Amino acid sequence: MHERRIPDWLRHAPVPSVRDFGILAGLEAVVRGTLISVFPLIMYRALGDAGLVSASYFAVGVLSLIAGLMVPGLVRLLPRRWAYSLGTAMFVLSAGFAIEGSPASVLAALALNTVASVVTFICFNAYVLDYIARVELGRCETSRMFYSAVGWTAGPMAGVLLLEWWASAPFLISGGAAVILLAAFWWMRMGNGKQIARARGPASSPLTYLPRFLAQPRLVTGWLFAVIRSAGWWIYVVYLPIFAIEKGLGEELGGILLSATNAALFGAPLLLRLVQRHSIRMAVRTGFLGVTLCFGTAGIAQGWPMVSIALLVAGSAALILLDICAGLPFLMAVKPSERTEMSAVYSSYRDISGILTPGAAWLVLLVAPVAGIFTAGAAATAAAVWLAGKLHPRLGNRKLAPAAEPVPAE
């Protein structure tokens, strides 16, 4: 008799690949991209006042920041695979609340969707740091953006159109995509990530590991890159359409330009070649310098609205380059024993930029028109150009990367 061997893929979970992470990112883009333009509309319909909508977004941003800092504690109580599953389940629950449609349900839906984004983002980053070698991080980021391009390009416009056709449709699509995302995650059998023994005990609360983050300049610099880059997107997504309306260019222009910009994500592999051909420092400085020049000149040229808008669109191309490379300095500086904690800190950039950018814009609008916000954004990215000059000139060079380690051990 011949003994039947159990296939290796059943006995040992396969190591997740760059493509696997790209697929997960693409599915999440459908979940979130379908609703990114829908939530502001249903919030306004439910609350009936722009001030209440703004206050609600501010409160949800604070909640999201707190939730992100608490994820490491959650992961210590709950295995990471279950934490990620909880995040995807919150996407589904959010869709259900939104379909119900009452003001309280819509607020709950926005809060659940936002917190779910934070939880899955932190777990996703921790898995990437576990399974993707340091020299492959750039390729992984590019794959993530490429697979996400469809969701972020078609999702916003499709969500709004579907909302007009049948109010429940965008939420059913988003919830269904979340179910598929959860199924794909479990099919990939990522488990709980790699277990690395610590020399010291794990941080017991955000207050104990935040000082550790602040004590590492490379992590702080990488986080600042993420905050400033995110603020640039806030300016482009929120204030470009307002500028266009004030200049009599129509309400649709902002949405059309956003879709066109997101379509440029399909060119992410070409931008990766630029990053690989030169250093990460060169790519980060080039990206922030491009945003600085374009946004700054757009503010100065406000008397010629189409010129300003063309410059902002050009600046968004530089933001896409930053989406590929600006997160790498942080990811490459994370110690293996601090993956979950530092991923939680890193994820806070979205909440911080979502709180700071509208606040700074409000102050600018007290003394200047909307175009002044473009100039203020250029000042922030100019500071990032200076910070990028302090990065190691050979950061990301394959000769510097140990082949057996996913991230440097410092």
What is this structure's pTM? 0.67
Does 233 share its domain with 304?
A: yes
User: Closest Cα partner for 103 from 44, 158, 176?
Assistant: 44
Has residue 406 been placed in a domain? no
Write down the pLDDT at residue 196: 41
Write down the pLDDT at residue 198: 43
Q: What is the dihedral of CA 268, 274, 276, 277, to 10 degrees?
A: 160
**What residues contact residue 9 under an 8 Å CB cut-off, 6+ apart?**
none
Domain with 149 in it: what CATH number?
A: 1.20.1250.20
Domain range holding 381? 203-397
Does 210 share its domain with 246?
A: yes
Residue 405 has pLDDT above 80, yes or no: no
pLDDT tens figures, 184-212: 898 887 766 554 444 444 444 555 667 77
| Mean pLDDT, the chain, integer | 77
Domain boundary among 192, 217, 241: 192
Whether residue 110 contacts residue 56, with contact meaning beta carbons closer than 8 Å, is answered with yes
Does 268 share its domain with 127?
A: no
Does 212 share its domain with 162?
A: no
Residue 269 has pLDDT above 50, yes or no: yes
Separation CA 408–CA 330 (nearest Å)? 11
The residue whose two tokens read 């028109």 is: 369
- Choose the weakest-confidence range: 8-12, 62-66, 300-304: 8-12
Question: How many angstroms separate the Cα of 207 from the Cα of each of 64, 239, 350?
Answer: 17, 35, 20
Has residue 2 been placed in a domain? no
Separation CA 89–CA 366 (nearest Å)? 42
Domain boundary among 152, 173, 192: 192
Reported confidence tier of residue 134, pLDDT bands at 50, 70, 90: low
Give mean pLDDT, residues 364-386.
88
Write down the pLDDT at residue 265: 67
Residue 99 has pLDDT above 60, yes or no: yes
Has residue 27 been placed in a domain? yes
Q: Say how many CA atoms lie within 13 Å of 319 toward its Cβ.
A: 27
Does 161 share its domain with 235?
A: no
Separation CA 327–CA 295 (nearest Å)? 21
Whether residue 31 contacts residue 112, with contact meaning beta carbons closer than 8 Å, is answered with no
Whether residue 391 contacts residue 329, with contact meaning beta carbons closer than 8 Å, is answered with yes
DSSP sequence for 211-277: HHHHT-HHHHHHHHHHHHHHHHHHIIIIIHHHHHHHTTS-SHHHHHHHHHHHHGGGGHHHHHHHHHH
Does 260 share its domain with 175?
A: no
Does 171 share its domain with 210?
A: no
Both tokens of residue 270?
């070409």
User: Closest Cα partner for 30 from 116, 164, 159?
Assistant: 159
Has residue 409 been placed in a domain? no
> Into how many domains does the chain fold?
2
- Choose the weakest-confidence range: 51-55, 115-119, 322-326, 356-360: 51-55
